[in-house]
Structure 1
Amino acid sequence: MSENKTELKRSLGLIDATSLVAGSMIGSGIFIVTSAMARDIGSAAWLLVIWMVTGLITVAAALSYGELAGMMPNAGGQFVYIQRAYGRLVSFLYGWTVFTVIQTGVIAAIAVTFASYAAIFFPILDDTLFQIGAGFVFTNSKLLAILSIILLTYINTQGVKSGKIVQLILTSAKLIALFALIILGIYVGLKTDILANNFANMWDASKTVLNPDGTVTVTKLAGTALLGAAAATMINSLFSSDAWNNVTFIAGEIKEPKKNIPRSLFLGTLIVTIIYVLANVAYLALLPMQGTPGATSIFDGGIMFANNDRVGAAAAGMIMGNVSVFVMAALIMVSTFGANSGLILSGGRLFYAMAKDGLFFKQATELNKNQVPAKALWVQCIWACVLALSGKFGDLLTYATFASLLFYILTIIGVFILRKKEPNTERPYKAFGYPFVPAIYVVITTGICLTLLVYDTVNTGLGLGIVLLGIPVYYMLMDRKQ
């Protein structure tokens, strides 16, 4: 079979697409970020409100994306939507940011998380293979992280059927495990007074800072300071709820995409939102909100000071004791491996769409004998491995989170723009609650971004810098084509 095919085959159904949405969203974040959020906000009620608002705006965005997906059921998703509304430069800046940081950076971060939890079973992974100076250390775990990216890329080059089977199995496994943690956690927790104590003064917010000398500084929060802290810490829950849009990248391989993409976006984001809120209820039922840094017991560390922020492992420890360390490590390994499978599957399709538009390597338009864009997948693999090797992905992701939110806002505004520019274009699905639901997303997310500009100016500025760096690259590409 020829290697130069350029049209994808539609072979994914609604269950496959929904599995990709949910599987890509659930990585390691839900098991970790609640600790940092608890320190930032110090209130059980506000903690749940932040997770619920995160879910609300994520579902609102998914419902709005459904209209665009129905209009443009082609590979590339958000890249295609942005180009239709704003033109090639803005769409390139989105694709540039996704390739350099967002998609590849997340893949690298998740692979390293997978390897770090594998080290719980195989301590040899923490051993150093070699070191260059004081700044670069190459461990066995980094090698495993890179090998996992390569393995998943290879699996996804063997055809979309191979990728979807892996994705469906791993997503099912982690959903079952998460529901078990939630049900057992709430059941065990309700036999104690922990949940009641956490909600005794549930609206009293405060920021807790662990000082270098081991002491703790607690600052009460109210008014604008409270809103600022809530918006700033929401980055954690938003990051944990991200990647739901990846299903739009593979629109060219979904059966009946005008119906199935909107449905999968809604179902996937709703399922994960419910799971995330309930998981936090389980944490609050099992562990005190407050805690003591360096505590020798799981209970005394609380949610705020769970060991290495592993609040999921701490909660499981309250249910199962010492064996929970290994149970949670296995769960997170399955969760992260499954998330990366979905991210790798979908990311290659975005770069395939960019290449077809002349905005990426020309060879990325080619499909292999299994009718997948293998060269696009391998380019993504190489850069993700470089980021994993460098160890700089964490910083890059912090910078890119702000940029990612901006592109989400632009895409949702695109629904309004295209309604005006193309009123007669077929829309098999129209955004639910238009114009209110899309407007709610834009208003809330814009407010978060403006707050971040004030409270986290350095990281937001660097995020904008990564995006703007794509402008000269774009014009270099255009000059080369002339």
Structure 2
Amino acid sequence: MTAGPQPKLRLLDAIALIVGIVVGAGIFKTPSLVAAHAGSAELVLLAWLLGGVVSLIGALCYAELASAYPHPGGDYHYLARAFGRNLAFLFAWARFTVIPTGSIALLAFVFGDYASQLWRLGEHSASIYAALVVALFTGVNVLGIRQGKGVQNLLTSMEVAGLLLVIAAGLAFAAPPAEPLPAAPAAGAAQGAAGLVMVFVLLTYGGWNEAAYVSAELRGGRRGIAWALIWSIGIVTALYLLANWAFLHGLGLAGMAGSEAVASDLMRRVAGEDGTRLISALIALAALTSINATILTGARTNYALGRDFPRFAALGRWHARAGTPGNALLAQGAVALLLVGLGTLTRRGFETMVEYTAPVFWFFFLLTGIALFVLRAREPAAPRPFRVPLYPLTPLIFCASSAYLLYASLAYTGIGALFGVAVLAAGVPLLLLNRRR
């Protein structure tokens, strides 16, 4: 059956979805990288606070767009209105091949790495786990929005409870080790270090913009998406600041900077090897939470693409009984499985997927910020239930931060970034072919 999106999500569902996407496995991996480049405990906490502020600024911009133009295509719809169908097509192509599909594969490898520590499945255990979890959660969401959001609410609750347990352990039971501080970066390297710090921090905050893709399915009127974003960013910022405070208290700056797995090292100090197994299970759970949420939101752009371009019409079918774009979900799952295969071939699954997605993500993030200015000027009479405060300063800060992160994601990453850009460029011939038709 074919229909359109219906308002079946509550505010609490949207908050669980956003928090579940953002609070993924990154908070258990990137704090040590941030500490190694920041050089002091104060700068570590300041970087995570700044990440929350930048994310809130971006969320306010998205809240205006999503409340004014609720649509399952999210950014795709805003870019189409502001810049035309050609750019919107390239964005949809990027969503289909790079951004959410790359994130799903990245998170699937994180789950596979940690699940393999608990129960190994052979030589390519991490890749097997990654493929299985992509297939499983794609299937759950194809079954229906009720199943998808139910699983999401449960996983997010368990994830937040587990992270609070780690925070309590770090603040209450662990003692900071007596180790020297890492050397501060040389003056010439300070700018690059700051750039890397913010790349890692904002990568860990990434994903809140996915709320735009369920704006047409949220109950409570158009302002509901603004409240969902504001509450979610506030919860995530508080959790991240508390987590880093706990890591600093439990390991010290040097111990945190030198750790390969900061949360595992903290729990090992608190509870021995049992603590390490607990954190492995928690990180695997966090990855599952983000995977399910990204699968649920990611396919909405594919659905919008299918509605607008006849060559992709099969993706634009909405199954009324399930309340999901079933074909779009299946196609997204297939691409994610191909990327799991790519990560397996490179033997650097997580790193390859980070490099692959980052430049394309920040490029379109920047364009979405610019779209806010364009639509304000072009459609001044359009109803805007929520208006970004301090306009135009707030969206200018958002655009400037996105432009800097685009530069940093190209300057400080490896060959995977170039591969992601090449896949985006491969959409140009497809666009020309579609226009000729």
TM-score greater than 0.5 by the shorter chain:
yes
Question: What is the match of residue 366 of structure 1?
Answer: 317
Question: What is the match of residue 277 of structure 1?
Answer: 241
Q: CA deviation at 1:399?
A: 3.5
Partner amino acid, structure 2, of 1:182 = I
Change (3 A) 1:413 1:278: same
Alignment partner of 1:303 is 2:256: yes
User: What is the Cα-based RMSD across aligned positions, in Å?
Assistant: 2.2
Unmatched segments (≥5 aa) in structure 2: none
Q: CA deviation at 1:462?
A: 4.9
Partner amino acid, structure 2, of 1:411 = T
Q: Matches of 2:323 and 2:227 in 1, distance apart?
A: 25
Question: What is the match of residue 435 of structure 2?
Answer: 478
Q: Is residue 68–residue 81 contact of structure 1 (8 Å, CA) maintained in 2? A: yes
Question: What is the match of residue 271 of structure 2?
Answer: 320
Alignment map for 1:61-210 (pairs within 5 Å) = 61-123=58-120, 125=121, 127-128=122-123, 139-189=124-174, 192=175, 206=184
Q: Is residue 43–residue 205 contact of structure 1 (8 Å, CA) maintained in 2? A: no
Change (3 A) 1:232 1:79: same
- The C-alpha deviation readout for 1:221-279, integer Å capped at 9, x for no partner, is 33x53122111232222221111111211223221351211111111122112211211
Structure whose residues are more often helix by fraction = 2
Q: CA deviation at 1:375?
A: 0.7
Return the match for 1:40 from 31, 37, 40.
37
Question: What is the match of residue 398 of structure 1?
Answer: 355
Q: Is residue 46–residue 205 contact of structure 1 (8 Å, CA) maintained in 2? A: no
Question: What is the match of residue 252 of structure 1?
Answer: 216
Alignment map for 1:327-338 (pairs within 5 Å) = 327-338=278-289
Q: Matches of 2:405 and 2:8 in 1, distance apart?
A: 38
Q: Matches of 2:155 and 2:310 in 1, distance apart?
A: 33
Alignment partner of 1:408 is 2:365: yes
Q: Matches of 1:455 and 1:142 in 2, distance apart?
A: 27
Question: What is the match of residue 186 of structure 2?
Answer: 221
Partner amino acid, structure 2, of 1:352 = Y
Q: Matches of 2:286 and 2:176 in 1, distance apart?
A: 31
Which of these two proteins has the greater Rg computed from alpha carbons? 1
Q: Is residue 72–residue 213 contact of structure 2 (8 Å, CA) maintained in 1? A: yes
- The C-alpha deviation readout for 1:50-106, integer Å capped at 9, x for no partner, is 222221111110011000001111111111111111111222222212221111111
Return the match for 2:196 from 217, 223, 232.
232
Q: CA deviation at 1:193?
A: 5.5
Q: CA deviation at 1:476?
A: 1.5
Q: Matches of 1:78 and 1:28 in 2, distance apart?
A: 25
Q: Is residue 17–residue 260 contact of structure 1 (8 Å, CA) maintained in 2? A: no
SS in 2 for 1:7: coil
Question: What is the match of residue 23 of structure 2?
Answer: 26
Alignment partner of 1:425 is 2:382: yes
Change (3 A) 1:452 1:24: closer
Segments ≥4 residues shifted beyond 6 Å: none
Q: Matches of 1:278 and 1:105 in 2, distance apart?
A: 29
Change (3 A) 1:329 1:460: closer
TM-score norm. by structure 2 comes to: 0.92
State which drifts further: 259-268 or 40-49.
40-49
Partner amino acid, structure 2, of 1:337 = L
SS in 1 for 2:356: helix
Q: Is residue 110–residue 340 contact of structure 1 (8 Å, CA) maintained in 2? A: yes
Question: What is the match of residue 343 of structure 1?
Answer: 294
Unmatched segments (≥5 aa) in structure 1: 129-138, 207-219, 291-301
TM-score norm. by structure 1 comes to: 0.84
